[in-house]
Amino acid sequence: MKILGLHHITAMAGDVAANVAFYTRVLGLRLIKRTVNFDDPSTYHLYFGDTVGTPGSALTFFYWEQPRGRPGSGQATATAWSVPADSADFWRARLTAHDVAFTEETRFGETVLHFADPDGLGLEIVATAEPDARRPWTHPEIPVAHGLRGFHSVTLTHADSGRTARLLTGAMGYRETARAATAGGETRVRHAVAAGGPGSYVDLVAAPSASRGSPGAGTVHHVAFRVADDADELAAQAEWRAAGLQVSPQMDRNYFHSIYAREPGGVLFEIATDTPGFAIDETVDSLGTKLLLPAHFEPHRAAIEANLVPLPA
């Protein structure tokens, strides 16, 4: 399977305005696409990322008025961004200035800041000395040298990580690169794929005493992995099936093509193509500035727009 790294992560949020303000104003991501949930066009599906939504930079949200979920085993419990090693002080100061509570730890020799979004979604900033040439979106208060460059890693928590590790290191082509005990006495095992480095990592935390998470606002809906194109995705579909997973048909998500399968530990995985990308239906300069709908929803645009709350500027 030719997995290239993380593609996007999709989570669930409650209040749209608070969510948009947090990711664009506090974290300095670009709102790169505003569309609707293709399965429920009465709600937004918003994408935040770098200038063009480079695969490996996009965190996306579904908005559902529902009780908060509960983080726990069987979930992706942390989404981490990469910043340079000397950017930890900048982010300590910025999170403090915005009243975002955080804790920190040293993980595999690097400073990791932990915090949560307005819905309680677990987030991290990893100040890493590893090479990472990706350029962040420009935000007036965040020097490019300190901006979020894209994902560093995602952490999956399971009571027993064994079957998930075998899927990653078997069919999906990952390799274990590091392991350590966590402060809580659990085991964290880092996996990399392809060229490795920030944007490729999947950390598996084995937490035997963790209670099972439940879905809802503040939890991750699915984790998407990158492949280059349709040919690699269809090959991956066959390999997932051969590994015993129930795999969806290929779906057209306008900006990429996708297949889905639930991994044995309970996290919904997606494989998404790098092509065609987010500039297919608007220019790079205007990304995220208007509501974009797939063709089959266009005849209903007026009714759909009337149902959606305005977004903060």
Closest distance of CB 260 from Zn ion, Å: 8
- Phi, psi (rounded to 5 degrees) for 96: -60, -45
- Is 43 one of the binding residues for Zn ion (CB under 5 A)? no
Closest distance of CB 139 from Zn ion, Å: 25
Q: How many residues bind Zn ion (CB under 5 A)?
A: 3
Closest distance of CB 143 from Zn ion, Å: 31
Closest distance of CB 176 from Zn ion, Å: 26
Which of residues 10 and 73 has its CB atom nearest to Zn ion in the complex?
A: 10
d(CA 85, CA 294): 41
Q: Which amino acid is at 82?
A: S
Which of residues 10 and 19 has its CB atom nearest to Zn ion in the complex?
A: 10
Whole-Å CA distances, 56 to 40, 118, 211, 226, 253: 25, 22, 29, 8, 16
Which of residues 189 and 224 has its CB atom nearest to Zn ion in the complex?
A: 224
Closest distance of CB 206 from Zn ion, Å: 26
DSSP three-state, residue 294: coil
Give the residue, chosen from 4, 9, 10, 259, that forms a contact with Zn ion under the rule CB under 5 A.
10
- Nearest C-alpha neighbor of 60 from the set 185, 208, 220: 220
Which of residues 135 and 253 has its CB atom nearest to Zn ion in the complex?
A: 253
Which of residues 1 and 189 has its CB atom nearest to Zn ion in the complex?
A: 1
The mark string for 50-89 relative to Zn ion (x by CB under 5 A, - otherwise) is ----------------------------------------
The mark string for 238-277 relative to Zn ion (x by CB under 5 A, - otherwise) is --------------------------------x-------
Closest distance of CB 58 from Zn ion, Å: 9
- Nearest C-alpha neighbor of 273 from the set 245, 234, 240: 234
**Sequence-distant (≥ 6) Cβ neighbours of residue 305 within 8 angstroms:** 291
CB 69 within 8 A of CB 76: no
Nearest-Å Rg of the Cα atoms of the chain is 18
- Is 112 one of the binding residues for Zn ion (CB under 5 A)? no
Q: Which amino acid is at 111?
A: T
- E strands, the chain, are 5-13, 30-37, 40-49, 58-63, 75-84, 103-107, 110-116, 122-128, 151-158, 175-181, 187-192, 201-206, 220-227, 251-252, 256-262, 268-276
Closest distance of CB 313 from Zn ion, Å: 27
**Residues 205 to 244 in contact with Zn ion, rule: CB under 5 A:** 224
Question: Six-digit token pair at 114?
Answer: 């932990």
Which of residues 10 and 75 has its CB atom nearest to Zn ion in the complex?
A: 10
Residues that bind Zn ion (CB under 5 A): 10, 224, 270
